[in-house]
Amino acid sequence: KGKIKTSWVCCKCGYSDGQWWGICKACDSVGTMTHFSEGSVNVGRNRRGFEVSENVVRAWLPQHSAEAVPLRLRDVNRGINQLDWRIPLYGLFGAEVARVLGGGLVPGCLVLVGGDPGVGKSTLLLQIAALIAEGHNVGEQAPVVYVSGEESVEQIGNRADRTRIVTEELYLYSSTDIEDILKKAQPLSPRALIVDSIQTVYLRGVTGSAGGLSQVKECTSALLRFAKKTNIPVFLIGHVTKSGDIAGPRVLEHIVDVVLYMEGEKSSSHRLLRSVKNRFGSTDELGVFAMSQSGLQAVSNPSEMFLSEQHSDSEFLAGIAVAVIMDGSRTFVIEIQALCVAGSSSSRQVNGVQASRADMIISVLMKQAGLKLQENGIYLNVVSGVSLIETAGDLAIAAAICSSFLEFPIPSGVAFIGEIGLGGELRGVPRMEKRVNTVAKLGYKKCIVPKSAEKSMLALGLEEIMILGCKNLKEVIHTVF
């Protein structure tokens, strides 16, 4: 008999509990706990009179549970080394995707690609599908199946034309029935399967409509079993939803092997692909793409993309300073803008910087560097809507404020790296070398660093850039302004 286990799952974070709570214990969201029946199937008889009490997908996916026994460690067939296992991805675009995936595609993995509707998930996955099918590094083409529950094959075809995909081995299919999808895909022995999107597919026999919590969870589990049994990597697209009734990708994060999120502003063509979970690699990785008229393109030198246009102009504005931040293993140069308005109320508005951090830096500037900011309204902004979470940006924030307050523009070609302590002292930050190397490569002429790091930075032997070590904020002001 089909046993139904009932639980309550938070739609927002995926936390599950045996009983209902008004407030989610994991993420503190109110009223998001939703009733969920695990393996809820319509217990009864099907058309042929057989009793249906088990999950439907199990019926067609071969089950070897009776034959499987615990194995001694040395008897476990590990195949080849995990790393050699990865399917390499070729070209600039491929390299960008591969890095986010932690080096390449691991056979049998289930990858969830989440993002806001319209951000470019379908486009990205169609391009990835073509890339895998072409298999430049493997030397030969192999089938890849792209299944959409949202678009017809003609619509996907149009998109492929637009992105100039001509791959022979790319198979398109339009369906929303998981069983049907897997049944049609398996005989092709594809190198990868793409399912767009989890919110549109359903599993026969599972209660609830497509996009509902039960369906979303059961479909994902079915795809996971499929991936593990066949060793075919599966990409799953999920829309991030705001309302609670349609289960968002967050609920699935713990089921899948890899979770990638695609981010981007409507106003900008830049798209970021961020890995937030990876069973096979690092999770700090970030891929940078640009949405063009013909699909997504890898941005080869993303370091400069967070600089405003003005910065490249010859006339300098006061209140702008450049910080060097790390995201994953990459270095980015970002611009911080400050505006000090004398005489106005001492209101503060910060954008992209933690308010408490900004307050601290402003107080230190007043107390330890003697800046009379008391009567000033201070506005802070990080260009491009990036949020600065690293303390490595402290010095650039302070420099931007000084620059605006003193109405002294900082010449272009100067970068700031360092954390500020309550005594106004500058402290070193992790990965100094990498940061300094990046700004040198980008053609910056001066880099202000904490005194403690000066020696080792000079030891790098970078000739094009001048390294200036400062003990505290007072020294920075004397050196720069």
Binding footprint of ligand TYD on the chain (CB under 6 A): 115, 117-123, 159, 162-163, 291, 293-295
Binding partner at 119 among Mg ion, ligand TYD, none, C-beta below 5 to 8 Å by kind: ligand TYD
Are 186 and 222 contacting, i.e. CB atoms less than 8 angstroms apart?
no
Binding partner at 162 among ligand TYD, Mg ion, none, C-beta below 5 to 8 Å by kind: ligand TYD
The pair phi, psi for residue 105, each rounded to 5°, is: -100, 125
Residue 150 Cβ, how far from Mg ion at the closest point, in Å? 6
Residue 195 Cβ, how far from ligand TYD at the closest point, in Å? 13
The pair phi, psi for residue 29, each rounded to 5°, is: -75, 145
Binding partner at 291 among Mg ion, ligand TYD, none, C-beta below 5 to 8 Å by kind: ligand TYD
Q: Which is nearer to Mg ion, 114 or 319 (CB)?
A: 114
Q: Which is nearer to ligand TYD, 32 or 163 (CB)?
A: 163
Residue 239 Cβ, how far from Mg ion at the closest point, in Å? 8
Q: Which is nearer to ligand TYD, 55 or 275 (CB)?
A: 275
Q: Which is nearer to Mg ion, 122 or 376 (CB)?
A: 122
Q: Which is nearer to Mg ion, 152 or 189 (CB)?
A: 152
Interface residues with Mg ion (CB under 5 A)?
122
Residue 109 Cβ, how far from ligand TYD at the closest point, in Å? 21
Residue 125 Cβ, how far from Mg ion at the closest point, in Å? 8
Q: How far apart are CA 164 and CA 123, in angstroms?
A: 12
For the record, the structure tokens of 157 come out as: 């075809």
3-state secondary structure of 128: helix
Q: Which is nearer to ligand TYD, 210 or 321 (CB)?
A: 210
Q: Which is nearer to Mg ion, 86 or 159 (CB)?
A: 159
Residue 90 Cβ, how far from ligand TYD at the closest point, in Å? 20
Which pairs count as long-range contacts for 135-140, CB under 8 Å and 24+ apart, including other chains? 135/87, 135/90, 135/191, 136/90, 136/91, 136/94, 137/87, 137/88, 137/89, 137/90, 138/87, 138/88
Q: How far apart are CA 193 and CA 197, in angstroms?
A: 12
Are 260 and 274 contacting, i.e. CB atoms less than 8 angstroms apart?
yes
Interstrand relation of 320-327 and 295-298 (parallel, antiparallel or unpaired)? unpaired
| Angle between helix 355-369 and 473-480 (nearest 10) | 80
Q: Which residues contact 436 (CB under 8 A, 6 or more apart)?
A: 324, 417, 447, 449, 457, 460, 462, 465, 467
Residue 115 Cβ, how far from ligand TYD at the closest point, in Å? 6
CB crowding 205-216: b at 16 or more within 10 Å, else e: bbebebbbbbbb
Q: Among 329, 261, 333, 273, which residue's Cα sits nearest to residue 298?
A: 273
Q: Which is nearer to Mg ion, 156 or 336 (CB)?
A: 156
Q: How far apart are CA 295 and CA 293, in angstroms?
A: 6
Q: Among 289, 293, 316, which residue's Cα sits nearest to residue 302?
A: 289
Token pair 């476990």 is found at 76
Residue 435 Cβ, how far from Mg ion at the closest point, in Å? 37
Binding partner at 450 among Mg ion, ligand TYD, none, C-beta below 5 to 8 Å by kind: none
Binding partner at 293 among ligand TYD, Mg ion, none, C-beta below 5 to 8 Å by kind: ligand TYD
Q: How far apart are CA 307 and CA 396, in angstroms?
A: 13
Q: Which is nearer to Mg ion, 44 or 117 (CB)?
A: 117
Q: Among 472, 434, 432, which residue's Cα sits nearest to residue 454?
A: 432
Q: Which is nearer to Mg ion, 122 or 472 (CB)?
A: 122
Residue 44 Cβ, how far from Mg ion at the closest point, in Å? 36
Q: How far apart are CA 314 and CA 230, in angstroms?
A: 59
Residue 149 Cβ, how far from Mg ion at the closest point, in Å? 10
